[in-house]
Structure 1
């Protein structure tokens, strides 16, 4: 199964930022459920980066990606920024699943360790983020990016600051 989305499919998606006034009453996990059902917009970056949500459950988020030529660096491998993006996405979204209504978050630090090159066109990759700690203001998560054969491409950690949503 491939996660790649065509330009015509992308045009049919509801894309954009989450409407803050609508999400104040939803938990982080409910927000993901509403996005998957098309009731809330999905982030536009998913189309650009070819990164798509597979699973979101309490403390866990899994994304699939399909890096292509548009994501290459000068050496012809997938740019480290793409690898960092899918790791940040999966780990931060794992934190997002644990938010209470009225809370939002932002990444404050990201550490990525790349252990082998990823080639464009090598097929779909899978990235899983798991919350390691959720406090009242800070949360940390760990993530692993693997190729279609299950070989580790990169792993990392993220720290997120949690704060109340200000809608006014």
Structure 2
């Protein structure tokens, strides 16, 4: 694994990858998200694609930081009739909602 720059000033030291499936049953959703913040897991691939990362998580709350750039522009220099910042901002709410929901709802599964 090699480090990856997610956006200027933020590097994921472990590169990009998803959470190992075996850990999903081991930790709560909140614990999994905190482990991403603590660099115990690589950054999720979507963090590189959208130039953002998870910076803070608590029960029912997820905070992201990022920086929009020209990757979101179409050939005419726009994005869904908006500038790059507006397009980028429209992509984040769905991601934030899913993470805040996971911080609340995923509980440890009982081992049988």
What TM-score results when the alignment is normalised by the length of structure 1?
Answer: 0.50
User: What RMSD, in angstroms, separates the aligned Cα atoms of the two structures?
Assistant: 2.5
Contact 1:23 1:31 in 2 (8 A): yes
Q: Determine the C-alpha separation between the residues in 1 that align with 2:89 and 2:70.
A: 14
Matched residue, 1:78: 84
Q: Determine the C-alpha separation between the residues in 2 that align with 1:35 and 1:51.
A: 13
> What is the CA-CA distance between 1:70 and the residue it aligns to?
1.3
Matched residue, 1:22: 23
Structure-to-structure mapping, 1:87-106, within 5 angstroms: 87-98=93-104, 99-102=106-109
Q: How many residues align?
A: 98
Contact 1:72 1:79 in 2 (8 A): no
Closer, same or farther: CA 4–79 of 1 in aligned 2, 3 Å: closer
- SS of the residue 1:97 aligns to: helix
Q: Determine the C-alpha separation between the residues in 2 that align with 1:4 and 1:54.
A: 13
Contact 1:29 1:57 in 2 (8 A): yes
> What is the CA-CA distance between 1:94 and the residue it aligns to?
0.4
Which runs of at least 4 in structure 1 moved beyond 6 Å after TM superposition? none
Q: Determine the C-alpha separation between the residues in 2 that align with 1:44 and 1:6.
A: 17
What TM-score results when the alignment is normalised by the length of structure 2?
Answer: 0.72
Q: Determine the C-alpha separation between the residues in 2 that align with 1:71 and 1:6.
A: 19
- Relative to its length, the structure with more strand (as a share) is 1
Where does the alignment leave 5 or more consecutive residues of structure 1 unmatched? 103-168
Contact 1:5 1:47 in 2 (8 A): no
Higher relative contact order (CA 8 A, sep 6+): 2
